Chains A and B, each alone.
Chain A
């Protein structure tokens, strides 16, 4: 989560430059893969849920009913932790 890491990833990233500035590999994975279901109504909204990071890690690794499981070769532990930390930190939306 350091800025050095962020810059290194920026060079590799193919996400929109405007978003890439503060985006780590976990967030990038969210935008590239997870969002294709979770931002279009196929899977539930998973940002702003106020859930602990471990919940995201567990569901990603186990899969959950309609949702496939993600293997360590799909997303390594460190990147998944970044992704989970990011989701856990997204602000809870007012109802």
Chain B
């Protein structure tokens, strides 16, 4: 079966697709509709342990206005074309820019990139989907606004809408991005434009300042889902504090994780340390300061503990490396610094490294930048640890309790090592929760290693599930699998909502395992 297209949407004939493409061209302009192999190729670059072909789009359409997005869903309904929406499309390790199912068309909103409004007094922003954090950073710098961003490590090329729609996180006190989101505009499958919160009130001025509005609050329903296409999003920005004091605490032994978490939790819950702290393992640290596995060992398989010990010694890294920061007036920072240092002194372990001591060295520098909203891409060093373009995030949720983190770490390391892969992980510390983020890194240019990574990812999900753990977010190849972890009732409700809002099932069918 040959087709002039790279793929066809599920259940759509070539003739019907031809007709739909003509409609898209008429509505958007020919240059906003792409079907050639050359144009589609960048959308097929994935890091997952499955063949590229499974996530091959049939076409890409771009839109620059709400009206164009409405036109796209109208045509999709008419021809039953499934459409996968991306904003900046930098969802590395979670599926990148490729659709969840082969043959879906990609709606790329990267060029819909207006910073609509930034309010330096109320400290809010309203942006379109294609806006990147770098673009916002430049805007804030050029206009000398007393504001600070929060973002994920791919900062410079990622953006707030896409990241928040997948409920991603950052590293400042505003690191829980969905928590700080306020006001959303979505185009529904029937073409209606819905504004959440205060956004529906005629003459309203409070869209970006009061989250809930009246009646059911729906923003959460549109994140990690396929009930609408987000075309505008508001969020809160942190005022830039007079003093920013980043610091690191190094711990020597893997077994220290229990005490580290017990020590940090009261400081986090009481907001003495206000930011999304990270507790990074040795190999995460090593990779982000430029160490490659091949510098130490060329045999395949899991990296032996003796090599980890050597890397720690050579690069002056801890088994766990904790990055935190203090923010505020000089007096506030001084008081909290005293509390932090005394807590560590009492614990009898952990070496503090200040910014003055670390100087310009990595990985301290990039951590300090992430904790103060300065974009960089230093963390992409992770992808060089083994190289070859294979990476999937396995990110189980945990209580911020030492014994739980210890248990998850041991379980993950055992399973990864069994499949010849390494524990490259960090805990991102919330007030009460942990995003235990593990980078399942493998050489995707090796078919054999890719298969091992796939088996490993499946086993991680299975074994963690047996212990009552599930992930907060996952790549497109495993979204159906992870939906199963959360039980049939939840899925049934999700499906009923889907059928009510999108009876033709045109919006990203398969996202988070949701279909009509």
Contact = CB atoms under 8 A, between A and B. Distances in A.
Interface of A: 14, 32-33, 36-37, 40-43, 61-74
Contacts of A33: 134, 156-157
B433 interface: no
A73 B157 CA distance: 12
A68 B90 contact: yes
A28 B92 CA distance: 24
Interface string B289-313: 0100000000000000000000000
Contacts of B141: 14
Contact of B43 (A40, A43, A65, A71): A71
Given A37-B380, A42-B380, A72-B34, A65 B111 contact: no
Interface in B15-46: 34, 38-39, 41-45
A68 B290 CA distance: 18
B328 interface: no
A81 to B, nearest CB: 14
B110 interface: yes
Given A32-B156, A33-B157, A65-B389, A73 B111 contact: yes
Nearest to B380: A42
Nearest to A64: B389
Contacts of A36: 156, 375-378
Given A36-B377, A66-B389, A70-B42, 4 more contacts: A32-B134, A68-B157, A69-B42, A74-B157
B70 to A, nearest CB: 20
Contacts of A65: 387-389, 444-445
A74 B110 contact: yes
Contacts of A42: 290, 377-378, 380-381, 384
A51 to B, nearest CB: 20
B82 interface: no
B96 interface: yes
A61 B38 CA distance: 8
Give the contact-size bracket for chain B: 35 or more
A72 B39 contact: yes
Closest 10 CB pairs of A and B: A69-B42, A73-B110, A66-B383, A69-B45, A63-B45, A65-B389, A36-B377, A71-B42, A14-B138, A41-B290
B494 interface: no
Contacts of B41: 61-62, 69
B89 interface: yes
Contacts of B34: 72
B388 A40 contact: no
Contacts of A67: 389
Contacts of A66: 380, 383-384, 387-389
A67 B380 CA distance: 9
B142 interface: yes
Contacts of A32: 134, 156
B97 A71 contact: yes
Given A66-B389, A71-B89, A40 B42 contact: no
B108 A68 contact: no
A15 to B, nearest CB: 9
B225 interface: no
A72 B34 CA distance: 10
A33 B377 CA distance: 9
B62 interface: yes
28 contacts: A32-B156, A33-B156, A36-B156, A36-B375, A36-B377, A36-B378, A40-B377, A41-B290, A42-B378, A42-B380, A61-B41, A61-B42, A63-B42, A63-B45, A64-B389, A65-B444, A66-B380, A66-B383, A68-B90, A68-B157, A69-B41, A69-B43, A71-B42, A71-B43, A71-B108, A72-B42, A73-B110, A73-B111
Contacts of A40: 377-378
Nearest to B139: A14
Contacts of B383: 66
Contacts of A41: 290, 381
A74 B130 CA distance: 9
A15 B197 CA distance: 38
A67 B47 CA distance: 10
Given A66-B389, A72-B42, A37 B92 contact: no
A35 to B, nearest CB: 9
A32 B156 CA distance: 8
Contacts of B387: 65-66
Contacts of A63: 42, 45, 389
Interface in B327-380: 375-378, 380
Contacts of B42: 61-63, 69-72, 74
A65 B383 CA distance: 9
A22 B92 CA distance: 34
A84 to B, nearest CB: 15
B312 to A, nearest CB: 20
A46 to B, nearest CB: 14
Interface string B86-99: 00011010001100
A36 B376 CA distance: 6
A74 B380 CA distance: 18
Contacts of A74: 42, 110, 157
